[in-house]
């Protein structure tokens, strides 16, 4: 039989069709109104019960409810994304160069807490004692000066993991590290040096994180800052060692430069700048990207206007790949995470008081509908009594458990 030769276009189409069949996770509906009887296959995990009703969700979203819950993304198709699902490690991560031990720890992360077996994560981050000072962080609720209570909040709040300092997690590691995923945050910006400055420095080593039983490590890079190139090299070395020791890696991909606030607009949260930060982060082999929710766009143009040149972009980023809608802006952030091969989690932000619950739920809805993997929320949870903090974390998780909040 003669050999049939396929041209490059035909081969690309076959490869693309095969990829389409493995990208998506749990079955999804693409609108808020349209529902089906199909339920996601979540393996052997017992899925938590959703406690937030549809009416309550719409009440918390307020006037934005219809816009956020029914928006259809027409920029980057969900079909081209690697979406969360109970099989994410086997479907996506197993193709990578990560070791079996890294994959096992990622699997543990995805199969812990109330969101176990959904492919989504809810993480409690507690590094604010250094980043914002212990007094500013814990005075509203002094019980959290004790790291044991921080881990209790994460567990009772149904989180998949806790991310904190090497000192905090080290004090309770023999009690919890074998039972609950620890993520050791390796570097921090401290505010005791005078005058205050912004630079991420290492407070611990990857080896120590491994010895205390961490499942993963995390680090921050202040992209756009004069110190960022040193930080990139330091984090690259740390993440390489973490992978060698079997731990997954989480990168806080933050923009930081006083010049990025221009005429009252904060371009630290521009979709194009944060998207590029995410792309640098996955280039460093971050397994998970943590990013602030985008609030604006066209950061490259705004910063370039200061001196005539900053970075590079393309007009199609703004004409075809993004709109002004927060879900579309967040999807562009996700696209820069290798189309979701490295999951995107957004941060919950500072505590604002009575509006914390509504703000956290809004962020979760945007992240999930964009194709993200979860939320990492700290101050909104621990700056209130433990029962209220756990209830807030549960409300965030309810968004990811809800079949009514679908991929846009």
Residues classed as catalytic:
290
Provide CB contacts within 8 A for 342, sequence distance 6+.
Answer: 281, 282, 286, 287, 288, 289
Q: What is the CA radius of gyration of the chain?
A: 21
CA distances, 59 to each of 81, 283, 377 (Å):
30, 40, 21
Q: Which residues pair with 261 in a beta bridge?
A: 266
> What element of type H or E holds 208?
helix 206-211
- What number of other Cβ atoms are within 10 A of residue 326's Cβ? 23
- Classified as helix, coil or strand, 110 is helix
Provide CB contacts within 8 A for 357, sequence distance 6+.
Answer: 60, 380, 392, 395
- The token pair at 263 is 């005429």
CA atoms lying within 13 Å on the CB side of residue 371: 33
Q: Biggest alpha carbon distance in the chain? A: 79
Give the ranges where 288-385 is alpha helix by DSSP (H): 299-307, 315-319, 326-335, 356-370, 379-382
Residue written as token pair 């010049």? 259
Residue 296 near residue 265, CB atoms below 8 Å: yes
* CA distance linking residue 331 with residue 368, whole number of Å: 10
* CA distance linking residue 298 with residue 301, whole number of Å: 6
Q: How many residues does the chain have?
A: 408
Burial class (CB in 10 A: 0-12, 13-18, 19+), 394: buried
């Amino acid at each position: 039989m003669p050999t049939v030769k396929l041209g490059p276009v035909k081969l690309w189409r076959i490869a693309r069709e095969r990829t389409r069949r493995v990208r998506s996770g749990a079955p999804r509906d693409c609108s808020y109104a349209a529902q089906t009887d199909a339920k996601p296959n979540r393996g052997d995990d017992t899925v938590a019960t959703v406690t937030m009703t549809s009416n309550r969700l719409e009440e918390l979203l307020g006037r934005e409810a219809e816009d956020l819950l029914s928006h259809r993304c027409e920029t980057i198709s969900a079909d081209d994304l690697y979406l969360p699902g109970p099989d994410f490690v086997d479907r996506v991560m197993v193709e990578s160069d990560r070791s079996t031990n890294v994959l096992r720890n990622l699997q543990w992360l995805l199969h812990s807490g109330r969101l176990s077996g959904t492919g989504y994560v809810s993480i409690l981050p507690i590094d604010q004692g250094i980043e914002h000072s212990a007094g500013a962080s814990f005075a509203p609720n002094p019980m959290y000066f004790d790291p044991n209570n921080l881990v209790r909040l994460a567990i009772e709040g149904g989180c998949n993991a806790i991310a904190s300092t090497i000192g905090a997690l080290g004090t309770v590691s023999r009690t919890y590290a074998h039972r609950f995923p620890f993520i050791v945050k390796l570097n921090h910006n401290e505010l005791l040096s005078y005058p205050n400055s912004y630079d991420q420095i290492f407070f611990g080593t990857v080896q120590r994180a491994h010895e205390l039983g961490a499942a993963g490590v995390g680090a921050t890079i202040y992209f756009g800052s004069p110190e960022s190139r040193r930080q990139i090299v330091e984090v690259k070395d740390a993440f390489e060692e973490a992978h060698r020791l079997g731990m997954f890696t989480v990168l806080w991909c933050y923009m930081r430069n006083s010049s990025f606030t221009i005429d009252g607009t904060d371009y630290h949260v521009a979709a194009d700048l944060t998207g590029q930060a995410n792309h640098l982060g996955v280039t460093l082999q971050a397994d998970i990207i943590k990013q602030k929710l985008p609030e604006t766009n066209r950061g490259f143009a705004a910063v370039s206007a200061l001196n005539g040149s900053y970075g590079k972009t393309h007009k199609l980023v703004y004409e075809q790949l993004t709109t002004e809608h927060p879900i579309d802006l967040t999807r562009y952030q996700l696209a820069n995470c290798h189309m979701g091969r490295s999951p995107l989690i957004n941060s919950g932000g500072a505590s604002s008081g009575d509006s914390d619950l509504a703000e956290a739920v809004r962020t979760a809805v945007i992240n999930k509908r964009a194709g993200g993997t979860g939320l990492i929320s700290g101050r909104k949870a621990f700056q209130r009594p433990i029962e209220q903090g756990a209830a807030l974390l549960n409300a965030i998780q309810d968004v990811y458990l809800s079949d009514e909040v679908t991929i846009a």
